[in-house]
């Protein structure tokens, strides 16, 4: 699934579930408030209303940037710590399609790393 950045998928989803996604600008600003934690490879994050993963994707990008900076000279370490960064992220959502989209986006972000 391609992420298109919309904050609302449909009026029905907003009405039935109150589903509204956080825009990228706000996600980055909020992650900046805990910047040190988002850049710790082993720091654990749980997103209790993950939607399609906006916060988790941003955190993963930050963690992978640290992994690349610290371990780019050793392929084994690079692989190990990139997996560790991915494994430190957890998300929950009440809508199955959101969970599937979040998983796919996280996997895609990790594999292009």
**What pTM value is reported for the model?**
0.88
Phi, then psi, of 90 in degrees rounded to 5: -135, 140
Residue 66 CB partners (closer than 8 Å, separation 6+): 39, 40, 41, 85
pLDDT digit string, tens, across residues 1-18: 445 667 878 888 888 888
The rounded percent of the chain whose pLDDT value lies above 90 is 79
Coil vs helix vs strand at 70: helix
Q: Give the separation between CA 6 and CA 51, rounded to whole angstroms.
A: 12
User: How far separated are the first and last CA of the chain, in Å rounded?
Assistant: 18
pLDDT at 84: 97
Over range 55-80, report the average pLDDT.
97
113: three-class secondary structure by DSSP: coil
Using a 10 angstrom Cβ sphere, with 0-12 exposed, 13-18 middle and 19 or more buried, the burial of residue 95 is middle
Distance CA 13, CA 36 (A): 34
* pLDDT classification of 21: cutoffs 50, 70, 90: confident
């Amino acid at each position: 699934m391609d992420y298109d950045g919309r904050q609302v998928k449909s009026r029905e989803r907003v009405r039935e579930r109150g589903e509204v996604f956080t825009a990228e600008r706000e996600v980055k600003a909020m992650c900046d408030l805990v910047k040190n934690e988002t850049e710790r490879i082993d720091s654990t994050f749980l997103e209790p209303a993950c939607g399609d993963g906006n916060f988790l994707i941003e955190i993963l990008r930050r963690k992978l940037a640290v992994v690349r900076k610290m371990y780019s000279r050793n392929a084994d370490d690079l692989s190990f710590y990139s997996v560790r960064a991915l494994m430190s992220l957890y998300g929950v959502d009440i809508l199955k399609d959101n969970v599937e989209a979040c998983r796919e986006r996280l996997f895609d972000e990790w594999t292009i790393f």
